[in-house]
Chain A
Amino acid sequence: MNWQSFSLSRWLGIITKEFIQLRRDRLTFGMVVAIPVIQLVLFGYAINADPKNLPAAVLAADQSPYSRSFVRALENSGYFQVVRQLNSESEAEELLARGEVQFVVNIPADFSRRIARGETGTLLVEADATDPGATANAVAAMLQLANSAIARDLQGVLQDPVPATAPVELRVHRRYNPEGVSAYNIVPGLLGTILTMTLVLMTGLAMTRERERGTFENLLSTPALPIEVMTGKIVPYVIVGLIQVTLIYLIGTWLFHVPMEGDITLLYFVLLIFIAANLTIGITFSTIARNQLQSMQMMVLYFMPSLLLSGFAFPFRGMPEWAQWIGNLLPLTHFLILVRGIMLKGNTLYELLPAVWPILAFTLAVLLAGLGFYRRTLD
């Protein structure tokens, strides 16, 4: 007699109510639009994974037109600012140790001679790798710069361009994790963190708000089922999430020129799963919490590891094992793999499946926990 089945009509009723309330709540609605824009612009510019004008010193044992045009090219690239011309190795050591320069470029004595002979000239680069993200792009650019600069010079002097071997080879001394942070890494990462913060926040207060306004008693006195209420409250925010995603995506491509190598429908598909995961954790927090403050505290507890241990702030493989273990429980960790995989590497669903199911499992487990905590009485 007490048995009740899920009612679609009731569920739609809850969805409709939430939609109307969301529409009337100007502040929340403003937040939906403002937070992604503000965060993206702030993070996008402040967390600059592609730093320019990095101080560099040049230790040139070879004073030749080749080495001079190489140094000019370094400066023209915008990545480097050559602050010193050095005379000794010990001087270079000292500058690096004191952190006055990020790079020391060593041009060996036989550099121009080898190039003139058609051999490969070797450049030695010492990079201060305390901030690996800061050097990765600059180093990557350097080889390119050297080769094109020298090649231009060679065209004028020698009529034999020798295209088979590159004229310059770069030897970089760095001691960091090979997964350098790319300039484009940050925006897809932000997609995940912005969604995590805003969506958890929005649903995290959904149930406690009913409780604090006294409307929960009314809701409880109706035959509405916990699953109907919880999922019904989530649905409108899925749309909110998709609006945010589109906003971030557009800004990301327009302002930050983030590439989109993969399939955009696949991106939206994994986004949908990720949005559902965050909304579920939010609604579960607010189901467990007795008031909005408690809910906020739980959210902070969730945000911290999500930001720090997901691979957003620090390279995931560089973290200790225990941190990786925690990180692997979080949806954001897997989502970062998905979104970077799709946008930057052009991965397909088949390649991404190992990162999809943990998010689904997380969502289901959290939803079940929320239903378990849902109090059907006021006891």
Chain B
Amino acid sequence: MDDFVIDVKGLNKSFGKKHVVKDFSLQVKRGEIYGFLGPNGSGKTTSIRMLCGLLTPDSGSGTCLGYDVLRQTAAIKREVGYMTQRFSLWEDLTLGENLDFVARMYGMKDRRSAVAETLDTLGLSARRDQLAGSLSGGWKQRLALAACMLHRPRLLLLDEPTAGVDPKARRDFWEELHNLAGRGLSVLVSTHYMDEAERCHRLAYLAYGSLLASGTAREVVEQRRLAVYTLSGPDPASLAPRLRQTPGVLLATPFGNTLHVAGTDAAQLQAALAFVRADGAYRVERAAATLEDVFISLMPDSADAPQ
């Protein structure tokens, strides 16, 4: 009917007494790269696993690629490419054997050519007979991506695919993702990197099991209505401890020779900065809030917020 590849509402998941994902709702459009952010343990992996049928939600409903996430997991598995956070291919198989195995699991008819083609496009042909376990982190990540795209899925679920990968490899990886999205593939990708978050069409921020913000990068920043000032002068970082104690200051983060100070209430923040202005040695400038400011400001907020 509509163009949502993921459309879930009110998903919940608990492990024992721990409520890991709370009322999780998400809509991802076709051809969209959707970023999934949040601190460690915020429920990103659990949410992704529920979307691809690896975990059964305790409650909630919705569809993934038009299939019911509760009842049609087998169909979802066939059309989703899932890349696990930890390298989960077989280290004692070669690259070619790994891909061949995956191709067989999805019952691909043109398995040999598909494997050869995938190895070729990812530049892994020369390493075809190398054991997967002997690859470096960057190559493992490329192999894992190759494996989860092999069966030509309509949706990719990538769980921190670039953790521990060098900047050049990350850049190549994101270029590849945008190419795929351009061809109509949808991608849900979790990450800790702000530059990656900014490369997403839209993103969601998850903390302590709850979705705290979502939209385009700009929308997320605007929704937060964060007032940000940069302080420069002699050793601005030394001001941070005092500022953090002051009401109205959500974060005070050193950035090189400056200090980022942000708060949601502009008037209160102005008041808080009064002592710095009075000092005269510091320059206080209004700045645009960045995604990172927003995310860091969200972190303590959610911890303090009454649940």
Contact between A217 and B54 (Cβ–Cβ < 8 Å)?
A: yes
Task: List B residues 95-153 near A (Cβ within 8 Å).
Answer: 97, 100-102, 104-107, 131, 147
Please name the residue on chain A nearest to B90 by beta carbon: A215
Q: Let me know if B162 is at the binding interface, CB within 8 A.
A: no
Cβ contacts A362-376/B at 8 Å (1 or 0 each): 000000000000001
Please name the residue on chain A nearest to B101 by beta carbon: A17
Q: For A376, what are the chain B residues with a Cβ–Cβ distance below 8 Å?
A: 73
CB distance from A220 to the nearest CB of B (A): 6
Please name the residue on chain B nearest to A13 by beta carbon: B104
- Bound CA span A284–B75, Å: 27
Q: Let me know if A165 is at the binding interface, CB within 8 A.
A: no
Q: Let me know if A222 is at the binding interface, CB within 8 A.
A: yes
Contact between A9 and B78 (Cβ–Cβ < 8 Å)?
A: no
Contact between A222 and B105 (Cβ–Cβ < 8 Å)?
A: yes
CB distance from A372 to the nearest CB of B (A): 17
Q: Let me know if B52 is at the binding interface, CB within 8 A.
A: yes
- Name the residue in B55, B56, B92, B100 with the highest tally of chain A Cβ atoms < 10 Å from its Cβ: B92
CB distance from B132 to the nearest CB of A (A): 10
- Bound CA span A3–B147, Å: 25
Contact between A13 and B101 (Cβ–Cβ < 8 Å)?
A: yes
Q: For B307, what are the chain A residues with a Cβ–Cβ distance below 8 Å?
A: none
Please name the residue on chain B nearest to A210 by beta carbon: B90
Please name the residue on chain B nearest to A220 by beta carbon: B54
User: Chain A: interface secondary structure?
Assistant: helix
Contact between A21 and B92 (Cβ–Cβ < 8 Å)?
A: yes
Q: For B147, what are the chain A residues with a Cβ–Cβ distance below 8 Å?
A: 218
Q: A1-B72, A1-B75, A10-B104 are in contact. Are A221 and B56 (CB under 8 A)?
A: no
Q: Let me know if A20 is at the binding interface, CB within 8 A.
A: yes
Contact between B74 and A10 (Cβ–Cβ < 8 Å)?
A: no
- Bound CA span A214–B83, Å: 12
Contact between B88 and A217 (Cβ–Cβ < 8 Å)?
A: yes
B92 contact from A4, A24, A219, A379, Cβ within 8 A: A24
- Bound CA span A16–B54, Å: 25
Q: For A21, what are the chain B residues with a Cβ–Cβ distance below 8 Å?
A: 90, 92-93
Q: Let me know if B199 is at the binding interface, CB within 8 A.
A: no
Q: Let me know if B82 is at the binding interface, CB within 8 A.
A: yes
Q: Let me know if A377 is at the binding interface, CB within 8 A.
A: yes
Task: List A residues 198-233 near B (Cβ within 8 Å).
Answer: 213-224
Contact between B107 and A223 (Cβ–Cβ < 8 Å)?
A: yes
Please name the residue on chain A nearest to B79 by beta carbon: A223
Q: Let me know if A61 is at the binding interface, CB within 8 A.
A: no
Q: A16-B101, A221-B77 are in contact. Are A9 and B107 (CB under 8 A)?
A: yes
Q: A2-B73, A13-B101, A17-B90 are in contact. Are A378 and B106 (CB under 8 A)?
A: no
Q: Let me know if A7 is at the binding interface, CB within 8 A.
A: yes
Cβ contacts A19-61/B at 8 Å (1 or 0 each): 0110011000000000000000000000000000000000000
Q: For A13, what are the chain B residues with a Cβ–Cβ distance below 8 Å?
A: 100-101, 104-105
Q: Let me know if B87 is at the binding interface, CB within 8 A.
A: yes
CB distance from A222 to the nearest CB of B (A): 4
Contact between B67 and A214 (Cβ–Cβ < 8 Å)?
A: no
- Name the residue in B80, B97, B105, B147 with the highest tally of chain A Cβ atoms < 10 Å from its Cβ: B105
Q: Let me know if B91 is at the binding interface, CB within 8 A.
A: yes
Cβ contacts B39-77/A at 8 Å (1 or 0 each): 000000000010011111000000000010001111101
CB distance from A180 to the nearest CB of B (A): 49
- Bound CA span A59–B87, Å: 79
Q: Let me know if B86 is at the binding interface, CB within 8 A.
A: yes
Please name the residue on chain A nearest to B157 by beta carbon: A221
26 chain-A/chain-B pairs, Cβ below 8 angstroms: A1-B71, A10-B105, A13-B100, A14-B105, A16-B100, A16-B104, A17-B90, A20-B93, A21-B90, A213-B91, A214-B86, A216-B88, A217-B86, A217-B88, A218-B147, A219-B105, A222-B77, A222-B106, A223-B74, A223-B78, A224-B105, A377-B54, A377-B56, A377-B73, A378-B54, A379-B55
